[in-house]
Amino acid sequence: MRAHLIRRVLQSGLVLLVVGFVAFSMFRFVGDPVDNMLGPERTQADIARLRTDLGLDRPIPVQYARYLAQAVQGNLGVSYRLGRPVADILAERAPATLELAAVSGLLALVGGVALGVLTAIRRGGIATGVLMTLSLVGVSLPTFLIGIGLIYVFAICLGWLPSFGRGDTVQIGGWTTGLLTASGRRALILPALTLGLYQMTLIMRLVRSQMLEVLSHDHIRFARARGLPEWRVLFRHALQNALVPVITVAGLQLGSIIAFAIVTETVFQWPGLGLMFINAIRFVDIPVMAAYLMLISAMFVAINLLVDLLYLFIDPRLRPAQQRSGG
Amino acid sequence: MMGRAADGAIGRGQSLARTPRALLSLGVLAGLVLAAIGAPLLAPHDPFDPATLDLMNGFTAPMTHNPYTGDLFWLGADDQGRDVFSAILFGLRISLFVGMSAVALAAMLGVSLGLLAGYLGGWVDGLTMRAADVQLTFPAILVAMLIFGVAKGITPVAYRDEMAIWVLILAIGLSDWVPFARVVRGAAMVEASRDYVLAARLSGRSGPAIMLRHILPNVLSPVLVIATIGLAQAIVTEATLSFLGIGAPPTQPSLGTLIRTGQSYLFSGEWWILAFPAATLLALALAVNLLGDWLRDRLNPVLQ
């Protein structure tokens, strides 16, 4: 088991090195950094001096090592478009995205598990049929159309909720939060729904199929035969077993929540990392793109590792055999 | 020659005629594809010819005569007086073209790599599958965005709009080869150990010939399933990128680009500029998805 963990950590490290190399190559080979940093009025001497300053005259592996070392220390270069250090921009934008992703993830998990259990118990009911059909449509529906639809209904027709921005925010240390003000919370509702809905349908379908499978097992029949109350059978004996694969899927979905936050942030003009990334692509702002890539990869790799650990924690069958006997 | 997997499945899944949902999806998809192919003939206006546009027709509502020009637009007109119906037909063309080309690219790349990895094994297999693992760490749409951004950076500024469609195909195609490679690799490994492959090898056929003539035909049915589901995904990815402004340019609008344009008129009440392209996209994605589901159940019950 320890060998497995060590292998996973090494693998993660390798992924990060590869991603770092991709980011470095973008930085180094897409467009000429010297060209991008010096204005049109420059002399050959300026160019040569900047090349030496940036280390562009050194061998490629040395440049790569230097790039990684600087990235780890938080020096991610300067945005071509905004002329500010990329690290500052990231730090300023990250809270908005993390708050959005956390709230949507929570929504997807709670809503998905609740609806999944409901549709598994009420098999063949009308509500189940409606929910299953809706979830099928929901899977085909592109995120941005969900967002536009919600804006149309709740912001334009009903006028209940704001259609763009973060509302009022409060600064706590280096973190700006919208969760502490009423307008911030209202502004969060539609984006969080948009982002969480797709994951919610996925989790709901998974929980349902897992529940249906577990409910047909003998230990459930035995629990019922012992006269345990139904809620206890459902939640203690069935749901707990059904949730094991859900954890993996939910964990991996956290990654796609962060990726699709790009879409949601654009629809709602949410001032987070995703909107920054889209603008970086549109204006070919390579340092910002490279930095976003590295930040996101670090997050994804960390999430994958955590999911693996959590799996061990939740499923006793995967733990070393000596702890339990007879299972 | 269609192989064991396909033969075994026949009869287990339901035929097309007995599944109205799949039949309906096929009908919708066929209709949309025909409309896209026949767009130059079917479209009442040419949305790319500025000479035929009349600004007086701007914002004409659907099925009403414009009070100034008296022109009628089935699905209304946009801000510049462009017929929304014609724009959708041409947008559909671009959406389908990009989606299909991207899937074709992904399938070619994935199937080739999967065959090589499964048949040769060893370091080829190791390298290909590690690359697949790394790429799978990231959602396909993110990979597509990055490839698009890098390719855009490499393209000279003057050609960026012109090349956008091809860059888009490249980005989506390269982001989606992994499922093909994984399935083909697995199937190729199984097939490679069978007697008929051994016989072919003993009779002196070369490696490429064995891969293409003997193994490939036997792994085609799962490839078809993945390609159909991949097509729905590619169409949605294309629409998303274009909606975000990093895909098909306004000079060659896809459905996503049209939705992007239409979004700004939602607040002022001109809902038709957005609603009809969005409905078309939805119908297309849903039809391909349902068809893919049916195909999966029918051709390969093992694929879940």
DSSP A279-326: HHHHTT-HHHHHHHHHHHHHHHHHHHHHHHHHHHHH-GGGS-GGG-S-
CB contact under 8 A, A139 and B289: yes
Domain total of chain B: 1
In angstroms, rounded to a whole number, what is the distance separating the alpha carbons of residues A256 and A105? 10
Q: Which of A209, A190, A199 is nearest to A111 (CA)?
A: A199
- The answer to whether residue B50 scores a pLDDT higher than 90 is no
Give the residue carrying structure tokens 């998303």.
B240
B172 touches chain A (CB under 8 A): no
Q: Where are the domains of chain A?
A: 90-326
Q: What is the CATH number of the domain that holds B281?
A: 1.10.3720.10
Chain A closest-CA separation from residue B263 CA (Å) = 8
Question: Is B211 among the domain residues?
Answer: yes
In angstroms, rounded to a whole number, what is the distance separating the alpha carbons of residues B113 and B107? 10
C-beta separation of B83 from B77 below 8 A: yes
In chain A, residues 255-274 whose CB comes closer than 8 Å to chain B: 255-256, 259-260, 262-263, 266
Question: Is B24 among the domain residues?
Answer: no
Q: What residues of chain A lie within 8 A of the CB of B240, using their CB?
A: 142-144, 263
A280 touches chain B (CB under 8 A): yes
CB contact under 8 A, A144 and B153: no
Q: Which of A307-316, B104-113, B287-296 has the highest mean pLDDT?
A: B104-113
Q: What is the DSSP letter of A216?
A: T
Question: Is B72 among the domain residues?
Answer: no
- The pLDDT of residue B301 is 52
Query: Backbone dihedral region of A21: left (phi > 0), alpha (psi from -120 to 50 degrees) or beta?
Result: alpha
CB contact under 8 A, A140 and B282: yes
Tell me: the pLDDT tens digits for B71-85?
A: 767 677 777 777 778
Q: Does the structural domain A90-326 have CATH classification 1.10.3720.10?
A: yes
CB contact under 8 A, A280 and B149: yes
CB contact under 8 A, B137 and A262: no
Chain B closest-CA separation from residue A200 CA (Å) = 17
Q: What residues of chain B lie within 8 A of the CB of A137, using their CB?
A: 286
Tokens, residue B292: 């893919």
As a whole number, mean pLDDT of residues A44-70 equals: 78
C-beta separation of A143 from A264 below 8 A: yes
In angstroms, rounded to a whole number, what is the distance separating the alpha carbons of residues A207 and A230? 18
CB contact under 8 A, B153 and A286: yes
Residue A32 exposure: Cα atoms within 13 Å on the Cβ side: 8
- The pLDDT of residue B5 is 39
As to burial, measured by CB atoms within 10 angstroms (0-12 exposed, 13-18 middle, 19+ buried), residue A57 is exposed
Chain A closest-CA separation from residue B151 CA (Å) = 9
Mean pLDDT for chain B?
81
Q: What residues of chain A lie within 8 A of the CB of B248, using their CB?
A: none
- The pLDDT of residue B14 is 55
What pTM, to 2 d.p., does this model score?
A: 0.83
Name the CA radius of gyration of chain B, rounded. Answer: 23
- The pLDDT of residue B240 is 92
A157 touches chain B (CB under 8 A): no
Q: How many CB atoms lie within 10 A of CB B126?
A: 11
A to B CB pairs, distance under 8 Å: 95
Domain that holds residue B181: 97-304
Q: Which of B168, B140, B171, B179 is nearest to B292 (CA)?
A: B179
- The answer to whether residue A325 scores a pLDDT higher than 60 is no
Residue A250 exposure: Cα atoms within 13 Å on the Cβ side: 26
B7: enclosing H helix or E strand: helix B4-9
A148 touches chain B (CB under 8 A): yes
